[in-house]
Structure formats: structure tokens, C-alpha cells
Amino acid sequence: MPASRRSLHPEAIARIARLELRARAVVEGVLTGLHKSPYKGQSVEFLQHREYVRGDDLRRVDWKVWGRQDRLYVKEFEEETNLRLSLLVDGSSSMDYRGGRQGDPARRMSKYDYAATLAASLAWLALSHGDAAGCVLFDEQVRTSVPARTRRSQLTGICDVLEAPRQGHRTDFLPVLRSLAETLPPRGLVVIVSDLLGDRDGMFRGLQVLRRRGHDIVLLHVMDDDELDFPFDGPTRFEGLELPDHITCNPRGLRDGYLEALQEFLGDARRRSATAAADYSLIRTGEPVDAALVRFLSRRGSMAV
């Protein structure tokens, strides 16, 4: 990672209280030029004229209009629309897990903090390129949302959604995704940021519903380092975040079985994502947010569908 970006470790980002400032710290000056609008140039159905601006392709100038009005206009086509990004962020109780076996737990980001920062950064990126971005906070139902818009104040509205008080419920993907499939305009980019600790059968059925609406789907699977590495040693009390259950044990006796179950869980998520034609990425909370964002966008080639 370049030296200029070493300060963007999650512990450094966690010190920034306001989410909007976190997002700007992550993406400003890092991701410029990675985006191209997904549908440009794909349609031959004429839609309208707009006034020429410097940098427009001269081949698209309507010279007949110029001859009549002595002003330059370019032709736009039906599918020449900017990206419409809908961010679906899991606000369930399991997202509150904040690892801290190493270092000061107060300086680490919870899964939700990380997911919200990642989502706000993606919104900042989309809006900076003139695209529309919206956000949904959900658990077992949609809790709060802001529809996709391109206006300057949109990032503040998205951060307000992500910083809203959360209810502490479990995740129930299927009714949420079915509801959103009915309300989101078709053919957008839907990015789901979640730890996937819920009804995965329901989630992947919901993804199929979104796909039938023409959406491109991205699944950003956020997990804490502790969940992935299981670094616990010595007597430990494990408490459920979405259930009242707890267990006190010596984790060394659980480690092998836990890691085996974890690999089955991750493999299932990857396979089902591929079946649902969803772009899956596993992101650990110990990874710098900007590095995770660059890795994701580089693999996709941009924010394009």
C-alpha cells in the first residue's frame, strides 16, 4: 500500500467521529477515474439533445441543429443514463461485533462501523461522478432509507440513514429484498453490505427476485478478523448478539470445528452468489477500507455494470 495511504488503517478511520468525513478520508484523491457509466453507448434509440460541453465526442454533435441555431448540441440515447447505486446495509445486532483481542477494542471498528464507512465511501464515489446514490438500512425489515438522487446534499442524507439509531433486531433478508424489488427502479446497481448471519436461503431467493428486475448485484461480506481467525485462547465467554444464548468454554477445543464450519459457510456464500449472478467479495474489518474499496473496484473494472 502506498505510504500516502498508510494512515487509513481502520483504527485511524475509527478516530473520525462523523461518517461523512470518514467517507471523504477514504476516497478523496484515491479513486478518481475508476468509474465509467454502465450503459453509455449501448442504445441506438434517440432520446434528446443536450448542449455540447467541452470533452464531448464531436462525432455525436448534431450538425443540422448547429446549422439552424448556430449552437452545438449532442445527441443522447435512451440508455445513456448514469449509474443508479442502491446501498443496502445490514443494521442487525450481529453487525455490532467489535473484535479486540489484540489492542484497544475502543479503537477498533465494529462490523457495522466498517460497513457504514464502506457504503458511504461508495456513495461519495458515485456522487462525485454525477451518478445517483441511495441507501437502505435494514434488519428484519427496512428501517430507514433515502432514494437514489444525484443532488449535492445526497451524501449527507445517506450518512443520516447510516447513523440513525438501530433497533437491535435479527436479519430477515427475504421480505426486505422482495419489498425492495418492488420499490427500486429496475436496472440499477444494488450493493448489499452484510455479515450474512441470517437466513441465507431467504437471502439468495431474494437476490433472484432482484435479478429478475434487471439489477446488477454486489454482495460485500463484512466479517471481523476474530470471526475469520478465531484467535481466542483460555477460558472465554461467548455471548449471542441476536439471541440470549451464551457459552463459556476453552476455545481451543472448538477451534478446529469452528474453522471447518466457517469454510463451509464461506464456500456456500460464494457458490450461491455465483448461482445468483451476484458479485461476491469477502472483506475483513482489519483491512484498510480504502484498500478494500480499490480491490473491489479494480476487480470489477469500475462501478460499471
250/12: higher pLDDT: 12
pLDDT at residue 37 is higher than 50: no
Q: What is the pLDDT of residues 73-113, one digit of tens each?
A: 777 654 445 789 999 999 999 999 987 655 555 567 999 99
Say what the alpha-carbon torsion angle 250, 251, 255, 259 is, to the nearest 10 degrees: 150
Q: For residues 41 and 23, give the distance between their C-alpha atoms in angstroms, rounded to a whole number.
A: 31
Instruction: Delimit the domains of the chain by residue range.
Output: 3-37+81-300, 46-77
Mean pLDDT of all residues belonging to the chain: 82
| pLDDT, position 89 | 98
Which residue would you say has higher pLDDT here, 22 or 89? 89
CB atoms within 10 A of CB 265: 16
131 or 235, which is more confident: 131
For residues 166 and 51, give the distance between their C-alpha atoms in angstroms, rounded to a whole number. Answer: 45
Answer yes or no: are the C-beta atoms of 113 and 14 closer than 8 Å.
yes
On the question of pLDDT at 2 being above 50, the answer is no
Task: Say yes or no to pLDDT of 179 above 70.
Answer: yes
Instruction: State the CATH architecture for 3-37+81-300.
Output: 3-Layer(aba) Sandwich (3.40)
The helices-and-strands tally (H runs, E runs) of the chain is 10, 10
* CA 16/CA 23 separation, integer angstroms: 10
Q: What's the first-to-final CA gap in the chain, in angstroms?
A: 27
pTM over 0.75: yes
Residues 6+ apart with CB under 8 A from 73: 49, 50, 51, 52, 61, 62, 65, 66
If one compares 247 and 81, the residue with the highest pLDDT of the two is 247
Question: Predicted confidence band at 238 (pLDDT cuts at 50, 70, 90)?
Answer: low
Longest CA span, the chain = 83
Rounded distance, CA 260 to CA 187, Å? Answer: 38
